C-alpha cells in the first residue's frame, strides 16, 4: 500500500479549521483567539523540530543518549503536571519527575525488550514513541489525581485533622482521599479501554494503518499500547499520589495546606 504524502501547502489548507475556531471565539466572545494563534504556531514549530530531531535520534546507537533524551521528555511531562496542579504549598515537581523517571523507564524497557523483543532494547524507533505514549497518558492521569487530592484535602480538612487529633497518623487520616484520587486518575484510561475501537480508532493504530501496516498487526500493537498505558498510569499515579500526600504533612503530623 502506497502512503499518500502531505506537503506543507496541504497543511496550510488545514488552517481553515483554526480560522473556524477563532471565528466562533470572536462571535461568542470567548477570548481564545490568542491561545489559538499561539497554539497553532507552537504546533507547527514543535512538531517540525521533533520531526528533524527524530531523524537524528533514530541514527543513534548509544543507549545513554537515548535514555537521556527520554528523561528530558519526562522532565517536561513533570513540569506540565506542576503547571496544571494549582498548589503552591507542596513541592511536587521533584517527586513527580523522579517517580516517573524510574517507573516509566523500567516499563518502557520491559515492553521493548520482553514484549516487542526488539534488538537492541534501546532501538529509538520503538523506545522513544512507546515511552512517549506512556508519559503522555500518565501525565494526564497524574494531573487529575493530584488535583483531586489537594481539593479533597482542603474541603475535608476538619475530618482529616479530627482523625489526627485522635491519634491517627497521616496515612490513616487520608485513606479514603488517597483512594478517591488514585481512582480519579485511572478512570480515563479504563474508560478508553472500554470504548477503544467502538467510538474511534486509537492514534497509534490509525497512524500505522495510514502508513500501510497490516491492520491485524496494527491491532496487536494497539492492544499492547493500551495495556502498557493502563499499567503505567496505575503505578505512576499510585506512587506520585503517595509521595505528594506525605509532603502535605509535617514531621509532627500537621496538615500543611
Q: CA-CA distance, 117 to 111, in Å (whole number)?
A: 8
Contacts of 164 (CB under 8 A, 6+ apart): 170, 173, 253, 254, 255
Collapsing DSSP states into helix, strand and coil, what is residue 249?
Answer: strand
Identify whether the C-beta of residue 244 lies closer than 8 Å to the C-beta of residue 90.
yes
**Whole-number Å distance between alpha carbons of 169 and 249:** 10
Which segment of 19-23, 51-55, 94-98 scores lowest on mean pLDDT? 51-55
Report how far residue 87's alpha carbon sits from residue 89's, in angstroms, rounded to the nearest whole number. 6
**Distances in Å between the alpha carbon of 79 and those of 74, 128, 256?**
8, 19, 22
Non-local (6+) Cβ contacts of 63 within 8 A are 120, 121, 122
pLDDT digits 0-9 by tens, 208-218 = 777 777 878 88
- 3-state DSSP call for residue 4? coil
3-state SS class at 213: coil
Please give the pLDDT value at position 199.
66
12: which residues sit within 8 A by CB, 6+ positions away? none
Q: If you average pLDDT over residues 96-115, what whole number do you get?
A: 91
For the chain, what are the domain ranges?
1-57, 61-247
Contact status, residue 151 vs residue 160, Cβ threshold 8 Å: no
Across 93-108, average pLDDT: 89
Q: Which of 163, 103, 166, 151 is nearest to 131 (CA)?
A: 103
- Judge whether 141 and 233 are in contact, CB under 8 Å: yes
- Torsion angle of alpha carbons 167, 172, 177, 179, nearest 10°? -170
- Cα distance between residue 114 and residue 112, in whole Å: 6
- Mean residue pLDDT of the chain comes to 85
Residues in a beta bridge with 200: 196
Greater confidence (3 vs 23) lies with 23
135 Cβ partners below 8 Å, 6+ apart?
73, 74, 77, 100, 104
CA dihedral 43, 3, 57, 132 (to 10 degrees): 60
What's the pLDDT score for residue 88? 74
Q: What is the pLDDT of residues 125-143, one digit of tens each?
A: 889 888 988 888 888 899 9
pTM for this predicted structure: 0.77
Amino acid at each position: 500500500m502506497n502512503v499518500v504524502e502531505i506537503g506543507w501547502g496541504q497543511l496550510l489548507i488545514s488552517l481553515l479549521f483554526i480560522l473556524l475556531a477563532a471565528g466562533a471565539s470572536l462571535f461568542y466572545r470567548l477570548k481564545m483567539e490568542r491561545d489559538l494563534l499561539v497554539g497553532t504556531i507552537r504546533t507547527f514549530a514543535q512538531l517540525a523540530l521533533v520531526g528533524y530531531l527524530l531523524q537524528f535520534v533514530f541514527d543513534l546507537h548509544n543507549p545513554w543518549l537515548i535514555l537521556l533524551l527520554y528523561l528530558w521528555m519526562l522532565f517536561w511531562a513533570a513540569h506540565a503536571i506542576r503547571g496544571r496542579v494549582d498548589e503552591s504549598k507542596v513541592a511536587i515537581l521533584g517527586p513527580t519527575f523522579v517517580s516517573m523517571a524510574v517507573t516509566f523507564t523500567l516499563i518502557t524497557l520491559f515492553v521493548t525488550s520482553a514484549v516487542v523483543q526488539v534488538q537492541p532494547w534501546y532501538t529509538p524507533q520503538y523506545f522513544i514513541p512507546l515511552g512517549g505514549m506512556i508519559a503522555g497518558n500518565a501525565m494526564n492521569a497524574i494531573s487529575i489525581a493530584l488535583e483531586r487530592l489537594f481539593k479533597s484535602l482542603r474541603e475535608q480538612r476538619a475530618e482529616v485533622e479530627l482523625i489526627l487529633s485522635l491519634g491517627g497518623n497521616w496515612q490513616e487520616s487520608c485513606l479514603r482521599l488517597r483512594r478517591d484520587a488514585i481512582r480519579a486518575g485511572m478512570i480515563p484510561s479504563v474508560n478508553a479501554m472500554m470504548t477503544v475501537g467502538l467510538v474511534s480508532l486509537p492514534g497509534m493504530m490509525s497512524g500505522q494503518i495510514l502508513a500501510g501496516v497490516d491492520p491485524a498487526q496494527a491491532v496487536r500493537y494497539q492492544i499492547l499500547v493500551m495495556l502498557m498505558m493502563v499499567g503505567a498510569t496505575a503505578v505512576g499515579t499510585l506512587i506520585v499520589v503517595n509521595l505528594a500526600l506525605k509532603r502535605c504533612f509535617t514531621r509532627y503530623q500537621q496538615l500543611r495546606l
